[in-house]
Amino acid sequence: MNFSRSLLCTTSLAAVFSLAAIPTAHAGKILDGIKSKGVVTCGVHTGRPGFALTDSAGNWSGLDVDYCRALAAGVLGDANKVKFVPTSGQTRITALQSGEIDVLARNTTWTFNRDAALGLAWVGINFYDGQAFLVRKKPGLNSVKQLAGATICVESGSTTEKNLADYFKANKMAYKAVVFDQEEASQQALGSGRCQAYTNDYGALAVLKAQVLKDPDNYVILPEIISKEPLGPAVRRGDDEWFAIARWTLYAMVEAEELGISSANIDNLKASSAEPAIKRFVGSGDDMGKFLGLDKEWSYRIVKTVGNYGESFERNLGQGSKFKLPRGRMNLWTKGGLMMSPPLR
């Protein structure tokens, strides 16, 4: 055997052994527990329209609820296999740290302290928000800086409470905080006149003004946005396999929209598309699920039963909902927004 032929054989064998050595994911403790229980236990808001809300029959809906269902569809094959656990601003972090819930999807801001010090890991961002102020309309009132000395309602255990303190301190303004554990209590206090202003994420205030307040025309959201609030699902640290599943569930919903895959056309694409990226996504091409410890149709089921990110947004918050919120920063990066998935390949 000549040298060049020997080198070719050696290189080919090395490539084969290299490919054979690529590991597939093994199930972590959390995934094992989910399969044993038969449900994904998801911590959600106690009641925020558009994000997580239950009706009189116990049916949950919302952007965060859809994410929980997408997880169940990918992992358990059934989007309905979710146990929703309502959590408050005070209890949500502890519920995740203690293992009471498998994932937290509750309008929770990704911050340095929560990420680095509290043992949480954010899988991504599903809503870009910022903190604002809702007040009763008064002649001449058009800025947060006119609220010096005001009584302001705010939720406890939230970044909102800390941002409020920082902003008023930075601007050398006094205020009186009226702190509640539940949003509903803050809203009632604003409506009764106990508070002169209510501060929360802009998205929450827009939903409140549009559909919850009895006299919305008597209220206005002041123009200042005093913080950045990247909101998204989180898991607890220590289980890399579950973290990867939770992360790629969110990205699969975004990637599907980027590829033009929706719940309405996914079956047709699965049957007829020759595009490699679409074939990978719908499970008729390369098996991507094995790297997550899942089957090859995990992402197909997510979109088939829950929809892509755009479908979820429009249904719960956008033009298909009663709130009519614009996509804005939640648009795809190709349309001027911030939503982008790493390549699913």
Summarised one tens digit per residue, pLDDT across range 180-203 is: 988 888 888 998 899 999 999 999
Q: What is the pLDDT of residue 157?
A: 82
Residue 330 CB-half CA count within 13 A = 26
Q: Label residue 26 by pLDDT band (50, 70, 90).
A: low
Classify strands 176-180 and 151-155 as parallel, antiparallel or unpaired: parallel
Task: Identify whether the C-beta of residue 82 lies closer than 8 Å to the C-beta of residue 37.
Answer: no
Q: Is the pLDDT of residue 224 over 70?
A: yes
Measure Cα distances from 258 to 65, 178, 247, 318 in Å: 21, 44, 17, 18
* More confident site: 181 or 35: 35
Mean pLDDT, residues 10-28 = 49
Rounded to an integer, what distance in angstroms lies between the CA atom of residue 282 and that of residue 269? 8
User: Is the model's pLDDT at 297 over the cut of 60?
Assistant: yes
Can you tell me the distance from the alpha carbon of 106 to that of 200, in angstroms, rounded to the nearest whole number? 14
**What's the rounded mean pLDDT across residues 217-242?**
96
Cα–Cα distance measured from residue 120 to residue 116, given in angstroms and rounded to the nearest whole number: 7
β-bridge partners, 44: 86
**Please, are residues 303 and 252 in contact by the beta-carbon 8 Å criterion?**
yes
Give me the pLDDT at residue 6, please: 47
Domain at 29-128+231-335, CATH homologous superfamily: Periplasmic binding protein-like II (3.40.190.10)
Select from 113, 114, 141, 110 the least CA-distant residue to 123: 110
Position 3 scores a pLDDT of 45
Stretch 57-73: mean pLDDT: 97
Whether the CB-CB separation of 285 and 276 falls below 8 Å is answered with yes
Q: What is the pLDDT of residue 24?
A: 52
What is the pLDDT averaged over residues 80-97? 96
- 40 in Cβ contact with 68 (< 8 Å): yes
The CB-based long-range contact list for 293-299 (8 Å cut-off, 24+ gap) reads: 293/24, 293/25, 293/26, 293/27, 293/28, 293/31, 293/241, 293/245, 294/74, 294/75, 294/245, 298/73, 298/74, 298/75, 298/252, 299/74, 299/248, 299/252, 299/255, 299/256, 299/344
Q: Is the pLDDT of residue 55 over 50?
A: yes
Structure tokens at 192: 């009764």
Where, residue-wise, is CATH 3.40.190.10 in the chain? 29-128+231-335, 131-227
Question: Is residue 23 scored above 70 in pLDDT?
Answer: no
pLDDT band at 12 (very low <50, low <70, confident <90, very high): very low
Q: Which amino acid, 66?
A: D
For residue 14, what pLDDT is reported?
A: 45
The CATH topology of domain 131-227 is D-Maltodextrin-Binding Protein; domain 2 (3.40.190)
Mean pLDDT, residues 156-178: 95
Q: Is the pLDDT of residue 283 over 60?
A: yes
Q: Is the pLDDT of residue 101 over 70?
A: yes
Average pLDDT over residues 107-126: 96
Q: Are 34 and 72 in contact (CB under 8 A)?
A: no
What is the C-alpha to C-alpha distance for residues 160 and 178, in angstroms, rounded to an integer? 13
21: pLDDT strictly greater than 90: no
The alpha carbon of residue 323 and the mean position of all alpha carbons in its chain are separated, in whole angstroms, by 18
| Residue 27: predicted pLDDT | 63
Of residues 17 and 54, more confidence is placed in: 54
Q: What percent of the chain has pLDDT over 70?
A: 92
Q: Above 90 in pLDDT, residue 31?
A: yes
Q: Find the angle CA(322)-CA(328)-CA(333) to the nearest 5 degrees.
A: 130
Mean pLDDT, the chain, rounded, equals: 92
56 pLDDT more than 50 = yes
